[in-house]
Amino acid sequence: MQKQLSKSARQTWITINFVSILLIVFFFYLGRSLEKPPVFFIGGTLAAVLTIISFIKVFIQTGLWKMVHKTNTLDERQMQVLLNALKYSYSVFVIFSLLIIYGFAVVNKEPINVLIAACLLYLAHILPAAIVGWKEKVV
């Protein structure tokens, strides 16, 4: 089911998706620092639900996810758009990952936990589709 969203609507949903991922991490560390796990479970669950809803709305229903992950059905223009998005997204991902790794090394005495690793993995998968959805007028 391909659903067309305007460029501004896609940008809004992409922003909601990224903010909800940040909220998951925020509630995790807030609950941990306050030593109140319910803060994480309630806030984190609401943020995870928002992440899932925004993911379905902007990546699945518009076909962005399929476009980025099935390259054998793309025409030449779509392939160029995808290659450009991959170039930018993985540059951003490497810089962001290095900042997180060095940030944890400087600030924390603990290694990167599984939540941060899962968020980075999710980010690596959605960044190319997010860049295509953000920049292109028509998907």
Could you state, in order of their start, the residue ranges of all structural domains in the chain? 7-135
- CA 27, distance to chain mean position in Å, is 17
* Predicted confidence band of residue 123 (pLDDT cuts 50, 70, 90): very high
Residues 6+ apart with CB under 8 A from 70: none
The two three-digit tokens of residue 39, written as one number: 């803060």
Tokens of 3: 């659903």
What's the pLDDT band for 72 if we cut at 50, 70, 90? confident
- What is d(CA 105, CA 90) in angstroms, rounded to the nearest whole number? 22
Distance (Å, whole) CA 10 – CA 130: 9
pTM for this prediction = 0.87
3-class SS at 101?
helix
Dihedral sign from CA coordinates of 87, 50, 121, 76? negative
pLDDT tens for each residue of 14-53: 999 999 999 999 998 888 888 888 888 899 999 999 999 9
Q: Is the distance from CB of 90 to CB of 127 less than 8 angstroms? A: yes
Cα atoms found within 13 Å of the Cα of residue 52, Cβ hemisphere only:
6
Q: Is the pLDDT of residue 81 over 70?
A: yes
Exposed, middle or buried by CB within 10 Å (0-12, 13-18, 19+), for 76?
exposed
The predicted structure's pLDDT at residue 129: 93
